[in-house]
Structure 1
Amino acid sequence: MGIKEYLDNNLNKYYIGILNKNGFELTESDISGMGGIYRFKNSWLNFDIVNDRGIIETRISSLFSENFYDLDLINAFLSRRNKTELEKPKFGKSDLSKRLNLKQESELFENNLTELKTMFNELNYKQTESELNKIGNERAKLLFG
């Protein structure tokens, strides 16, 4: 199975229903070499699904920004919002070293669409991005030292 077929299969299996139901439209597609990307957008969010050498990644961004955030980082952000005290990150124990599979990512995306809409709206996206960048830096330090 080629890059495009693999990306298409995963897009159709996990996301196309959610995207269609929420008014997302395809704005760009590019398949070349060892990778491919489909970009979607609706009236309040950008959504990318990327195949980079056989690894599928999904990510979102505000319409008011060019910064995209993967759903693993979004998951950590959402779970931390409800906690009062965080444990010191340790590889394998931290929410930042956890990878979701595509089924889990699509469920996270669908179950949190209302919250994502608020987080990435024009009033909140800068604060959301600031917090996501902090968590992203923490994840990089944890994973790469």
Structure 2
Amino acid sequence: MRRLLMRIVAATLMLASTLALAGPSVTLYKSPTCDCCEKYVSYLRQNGFDVKAYDENDMNAIKYKYGVTHVASCHTAIINGYVVEGHVPVSAINKLLREKPAIVGISAPGMPLNSPGMGEMKKGTLTIYRIPKGDEKPSVFSVE
């Protein structure tokens, strides 16, 4: 009986440590034909995020649903209740999750060439914008 109890405790500790290492869950909507979106999914996974990617033929509907038409990019992700629009670096996502601001999310509008999944990242050259609630205009969240 004691041996069984020790095995259960050991298994529970192993499971808990595995779960603690898993990064945030990501639901990502992307066009089925976009190669850079696949690269971004790989980038997130390589950085510890648990990504579930869904091919979506009507990305405009996704943009409207999450209120990001004015800061749109090629894919839309939901992470811990925040919208992460486009090729946003992990450093900005981690800042968002750490600070928990009262905003809809963050965006790297368009498809900037110096962003993850879009070529070589150049530190200090990528502006990430806050997606505010309501009618406020987007403002700078960080420069990555």
Q: What TM-score, normalized to structure 2?
A: 0.34
Larger % of helix: which? 1
